[in-house]
Structure 1
Amino acid sequence: MNLATPGTHLHVRGIHKRFGAFTALNDVSLDVAAGELVCLLGPSGCGKTTLLRCIAGLEQQDQGTLSIGERDISELPPQARDYGILFQSYALFPNLTVEANIAYGLNGCGRGASRHRVGEMLALVGLTGSEKKYPSQLSGGQQQRVALARALAPAPSLLLLDEPMSALDARVREHLCGELRQLQRQLGITTLMVTHNQDEAMLMADRIAVMNNGQVEQYATAQAIYDRPATPFVAEFVGQGNWLPFQRHDDQHARVAGLNLRLAPGAGKARSGRLFCRPETITVNPVVHEENLFPAKVREITFLGNRCRLSFELQALPGHALLAELAPEVMPRLRSQDIWVALPPQSLQVFA
């Protein structure tokens, strides 16, 4: 039976997984297109690693189906599922050389073919000449490359990455994220990556599945998730955000502490709840009049290098801190604690 839709390489449908009374996955479905890199993003305990382990066959789902291409792999053992996997710990064998670690999954290839493939993999990850070294002689970034080469050596149709950058410092992580993404595109290998780091997901993914409490709350491109989060959890988990309590005045306006804010079409249908907007969409002391312009007071300014973060409160809503992010060149216009802020209608989204 073909479970996959056209263009889909990995097909996940209706996956449930429980550990005793705890539900780790609750009816999770998603498709990953051939050659696509998808990130499972969410906090600890959201179910992302459990989903990866079910796909890998390291955990058995209680309900649901999995397929790779046209093959139903729902009940297959891990070794029959045609994937490579890179763990958070890299799981390199400390007593084996780099060459032997990479060749570990190439049993049955023959010695000459195995050696040739190891050479190809070392060249691919930029470690030619390191064949005889042991893992302890390598940096963390080099160990990660060896583990990746080992995962890719058997030429799997699917690559699974379980928090592969978490053990690296920020600068090395950013560099290797770029390298891994470039390599994935070069090989065209379908990839599913687990991470709790939203910057990694934004940098690398074609699409992101944001998970919470065992469910996928939104599955879309990074820009769609950032610009129009589907739920309050997604809005709060991905990036910074501002929240304002509101009551609907009419279809195009909302009331916030006596202020009347115009809403753009598509802002949402809720009659009351919270208004949401990103800090960088707020204009401070605009040079020309803008809509939704209100007096405010500065609470704190934080310099962050390429931007400044301004904490302020609307005069009509004292004690309620909001954030704006500004370019440093805007700061000279802030000559006192009294400012004007504009909340552009197109940046406002309503949640019940």
Structure 2
Amino acid sequence: MTTSSPGTAAPVRPDQTRTSAPVLQVDGLVRVYGDLRAVDGVSLRVDPGETFGLLGPNGAGKTTTILMIAGLLRPDAGSVHVAGTDMAADPIRAKGHLGLVPQELAIYPELSARDNLRFFGRLQGLRGTRLKTRVEEVLELVGLEDRSRKPSKTFSGGMKRRLNIGIGLLHEPTLLILDEPTVGVDPQSRHAILESVATLTEAGMAVLYTTHYMEEAERLCDRIAVMDEGRVQAQGTRDELVELVGDADVVVLAGGGALEVAEAAVEVLPAVQRVTRDAEGLRLTVRGAPTAIAGIVTAATDAGMSLHDVQITRPDLESVFLHLTGRALRD
């Protein structure tokens, strides 16, 4: 993964090298709240230089899983090892290998970008020349050199997000956890964030990445785990996940009218594997869509659906996600 971005000249020197030893090893994580098993036996592995995507609809258990991986929430069962260190046995050492960038901004708005980095750098144990060097490197990497002395309260949402990421990078973590880092940012900042992530992994840093944007997972992630109902439903490379759908196509019936009745009418057709309904119409997983489409359209219209568009696409990550969860990623 080779790319250019704002600040790609800034050196990134993670301690790890590309070896077979995982940076993150998660085994059988469980977290229970009353009768709810929010996380139910999650296991995954992240290797050096890998961007690992954790995807799931709202309520799937992603945030709870991230909190346990980061050592901010104790699991009821299972284990987390970061760079070979057991989080439960030696949490301080394990957390020292982590850089956590939460979805909620963690910056001081009255301070400049440079002063925010200096403050958090000291908290992370950086001092003197080392701190000064890392602040300059991180400012360049996240593309904030020109605004580094301005109060961060004057920044756009995207610039604040980039500063948030920079804070997580200061101590050169072995594993960077990015929890939906591009939510609500402008296109330019989003592009800069994605380019920065690619630069970091090219330099050997491991990244655990959660997102509600499927195109980001397609672009960045080497491997992906799809979570739903507290469990990892499947994980692997993009191509490995797409194979789960087999030779099925995705058919989108856009329109209105009697959608609930139309859904019931098409889901009993032999070629139809799954149907989901939303405000735009119906989305179907279909085997042999080119030959089955005429019968599908007839069944939907006879049931009272008014169609204004029909689309057929080959399987992609969105298809896999719908196949595994029955929901769109943003649901």
8 Å contact from structure 2 (residues 225, 232) kept in 1: yes
Q: Distance in 1 between matches of 2:218 and 2:41?
A: 25
8 Å contact from structure 1 (residues 12, 66) kept in 2: yes
- Correspondence for 1:190: 206
AA matched with 1:115: K
Larger displacement relative to structure 2 (84-93 or 314-323): 314-323
8 Å contact from structure 2 (residues 85, 94) kept in 1: no
Larger displacement relative to structure 2 (11-20 or 120-129): 120-129
8 Å contact from structure 1 (residues 90, 164) kept in 2: no
How far is 1:21 from its partner? 2.3
1:89 and 2:123 aligned: no
How far is 1:280 from its partner? 12
Q: 1:151-197 CA deviation, whole Å, 9 max, x = no partner?
A: 1110111101111111224x346524531332233332111112233
8 Å contact from structure 1 (residues 122, 149) kept in 2: yes
How far is 1:224 from its partner? 3.1
Q: Distance in 2 between matches of 1:150 and 1:197?
A: 23
- Correspondence for 1:225: 241
- Correspondence for 1:199: 215
Q: Distance in 2 between matches of 1:38 and 1:295?
A: 36
- Correspondence for 2:297: 313
* Max Rg structure: 1
Q: Distance in 1 between matches of 2:312 and 2:230?
A: 36
1:158 and 2:202 aligned: no
1:33 and 2:33 aligned: no
AA matched with 2:126: C
Question: Against the structure 1 CA distance between its residues 229 and 61, is the aligned structure 2 distance closer, same or farther, given a 3 Å change threshold?
Answer: farther
Match of 1:142 among 138, 144, 159: 159
Q: Distance in 1 between matches of 2:103 and 2:92?
A: 18
- Correspondence for 1:265: none
8 Å contact from structure 2 (residues 274, 286) kept in 1: no
Alignment gaps of 5+ in structure 1: 247-254, 262-272, 284-292, 298-311, 328-346
- Correspondence for 1:341: none
Q: Distance in 1 between matches of 2:167 and 2:150?
A: 15
8 Å contact from structure 1 (residues 282, 324) kept in 2: no
SS across alignment from 2:273: strand
- Correspondence for 1:274: 273
SS across alignment from 2:134: helix
Comparing both structures, which one devotes a greater share of its residues to strand?
A: 1
| Higher relative contact order (Cα pairs below 8 Å, separated by 6+ residues) | 2
Q: 1:24-57 CA deviation, whole Å, 9 max, x = no partner?
A: 1001111111111111111111100111110101
Q: Distance in 2 between matches of 1:45 and 1:150?
A: 28
Q: Distance in 2 between matches of 1:295 and 1:91?
A: 50
SS across alignment from 2:159: helix
SS across alignment from 1:296: helix
1:12 and 2:26 aligned: yes
1:132 and 2:157 aligned: no
Task: Give the number of aligned pairs.
Answer: 273
Q: Distance in 2 between matches of 1:134 and 1:127?
A: 12
Q: TM-score, normalised to structure 1's length?
A: 0.66
- Correspondence for 2:11: none
How far is 1:279 from its partner? 7.7
SS across alignment from 1:121: helix
- Correspondence for 2:83: 69
8 Å contact from structure 1 (residues 16, 28) kept in 2: yes
AA matched with 2:238: A
Q: Distance in 2 between matches of 1:319 and 1:149?
A: 54
AA matched with 2:311: E
Larger displacement relative to structure 2 (114-123 or 124-133): 124-133
AA matched with 1:101: N
Q: 1:172-227 CA deviation, whole Å, 9 max, x = no partner?
A: 46524531332233332111112233222222211111111100001122233345
Percent sequence identity is 30
Q: Distance in 2 between matches of 1:102 and 1:280?
A: 53
How far is 1:68 from its partner? 1.6
Question: Against the structure 1 CA distance between its residues 294 and 222, is the aligned structure 2 distance closer, same or farther, given a 3 Å change threshold?
Answer: closer
Q: Distance in 2 between matches of 1:294 and 1:211?
A: 31
How far is 1:318 from its partner? 4.3
SS across alignment from 2:146: coil
Larger displacement relative to structure 2 (182-191 or 77-86): 77-86
How far is 1:320 from its partner? 9.1
AA matched with 1:313: V
Q: TM-score, normalised to structure 2's length?
A: 0.70
Q: Distance in 1 between matches of 2:285 and 2:194?
A: 26
Alignment gaps of 5+ in structure 2: 1-18, 254-262, 276-283, 314-318, 325-331
8 Å contact from structure 2 (residues 252, 311) kept in 1: no
CA RMSD of aligned residues (A): 3.6
